[in-house]
Copies of this chain bind each other. A is one copy, B any other.
Amino acid sequence: MLPWKGELAGRLDVDVITSELLRDNPLGDPAERPLWVYVPPGYDDSDERYPSVYVIQGYTGHIGMWANRTAYRQPFVETADAVFASGEAPPCIVVYVDAWTAYGGSQFVDSPGTGRYHSYLCDEVVPWVDARYRTLAAPGSRAISGKSSGGFGAMITPMLRPDLFGALATHAGDALYEMSYVAEFGKVVRLLRQWDGDIFRWWDDFRSRTAFTKEGDSELLITLGCSAAFSARDDGTPELPFDATSGELLPEVWDRWLAWDPVRMVDRYADALRGLRAVWIDAGARDEWFLDLGAQAFRDGLARVGVPDDRVRFELFEGTHMAIDYRYPQALAWLAHRLSR
């Protein structure tokens, strides 16, 4: 295997979808979105229909990054292909969805702060794919997976739309917000001391220069972006869920975030969760944002509402939040075996 290139046994189509729902989104982000659709080996030689797995990305991820190469590893597009090429798992269509925004992400929700990314994914991308590819267009044959913010998206989307998604894989997905977010808020408050407590002053600066050249750019960006996703005002202005000087949580805003905590959503969406065929949950046991605890709490929630153990695959593996892309094909193979076909 040459490190600088890989061959696919299947085929990757680089498509573009024109979204009506993202048109005139508040950040002026493009409504024409790239969409990569992978069809497995044998697809072109048969008229079989296949289960589909939708793949979404972590914060600051955009679709072009799926092609990034790192030392001694292959991109997921290639390791995903290998799952099917090797016969390790039965074939699926894999759909790589872009949900980038100017703030670095959308959290895959509909928000006046960023746009209607949840609806775009569910009501535009899925039908678009089903119309153009030989999918098995039923929830039992459709899964969603992702890491970090993508893992969050993979947890919430089937809760909201069990009519579409019947399986999921979350790798270090955002959850248990008091553990994963609050310490970030503390850092943000300190960083904002140099911006008079005004995150928009930082944002203006950030956009005017090379990104990520100042300490704290990452923490500030994700806090602003999640505020846009979870707690934007009706006019689209993101509201921070804490006092920008003291870090004290603002209950009325923070509650809007907590309403999106997968751990807290479990009881509300228990029926949807009980209907899932397969749920893969993992995280690095030393995740920098304690998302191993979020994973554990989400898994405990599934047990509490009665999701049978044999539908859940749970693992806290040795590792951090970083460089865990090698877990993705493992989850993909596991899902591929469990999707209805």
Contact = CB atoms under 8 A, between A and B. Distances in A.
Contacts of A61: 71
Contacts of A300: 243, 245-246, 248
| Interface SS, A side | loop
Contacts of A182: 178-179, 182-183
Interface stretch (A108-116, A138-146, A158-166, A207-215): A207-215
- Counting every copy of the chain, the complex holds 4
Interface bracket on A: 35 or more
Interface stretch (A1-9, A128-136, A149-157, A230-238): A1-9
A295 to B, nearest CB: 9
Contacts of A5: 34, 64
Given A63-B4, A285-B190, A247 B176 contact: yes
A40 to B, nearest CB: 23
Contact of A67 (B3, B67, B189, B297): B67
Interface string A165-191: 000000000001011001101100110
B246 A286 contact: no
Nearest to A263: B248
A290 B4 contact: no
A44 to B, nearest CB: 26
